[in-house]
A = this chain, B = another copy of it.
Amino acid sequence: MTGDEARARLLALELDEDAVAILLAHFEDADRRGKTGHGLSRVAWLEKVEFDPLARPSRTASEDGFERWDGDGALGYLVLDAIVRATLDSPPAHARVVVAERCFPTGVLGYWVRRLAEGGLVAALTATSPRRLPPPGGKQPLTGTNPLAIAIPSSDGRPLVTDVSMGAVTHGDVLAGHATADALVPFGGEQSYKAFALAVGLELLVRSLAGDEYGAVLMVARPEYDPVPAFRALAGDTRLPGD
């Protein structure tokens, strides 16, 4: 699918020009980074799910160290985009926790934190999604794949971004036909209880703050130090996550 075709099909879903631009920028970045399950392939998925194309998120609480947002039926991409823009417009004096209720789907979490790091902020973001991971040895899914993305600005102009899903494959991989649904278990083989424990902790962290519908929790802060250049130098030829 070309960007133009995707644009036309998204407009046909009655999303407005601004919303389409936000979604396209996310999908095209995902495809460029090889995360095709979160790329333009999602347009066909959006054509099949029900959502309100006119819904927009609202900020329901705003203090320097804490914000709460309500997706209010809007696509999660639009919720996270609004949070990223608002945070860059008005960064915290030191640090801020941002809770997003009703925020789904969230796409590639690394995309949102990278934008914050490009704007000079350290960010860590996690989000819940449909229960797809069973415990090791079990069948019934108990948690979402619950990725954790972390981005650190760098004085060399290249933020370091990590973005790890707790699944051995992603649901996006399954949607894109790169994996079968039964491969969607916690990663780690014999030690998959560790990835499952991370998924459980993140699941309940988000649910305790954002409620029973899918949500997201962001921690964002002004860095006091600049560790990335020395870390890249130490790593030498090792390819670092997100690079």
Contact = CB atoms under 8 A, between A and B. Distances in A.
B240 A124 contact: no
Interface in A132-190: 135, 138, 140, 142, 148-150, 152-153, 160, 162-165, 168, 187-190
A19 interface: no
Interface residues of A, number: 68
A201 B95 contact: no
B150 A219 contact: no
Contacts of A18: none
B187 A208 contact: no
Contacts of A124: 201, 205
Nearest to A222: B209
User: Which 9 residue pairs across A and B have the least CB separation, nearest first?
Assistant: A65-B65, A150-B201, A162-B201, A95-B97, A207-B227, A197-B241, A66-B94, A208-B223, A188-B188
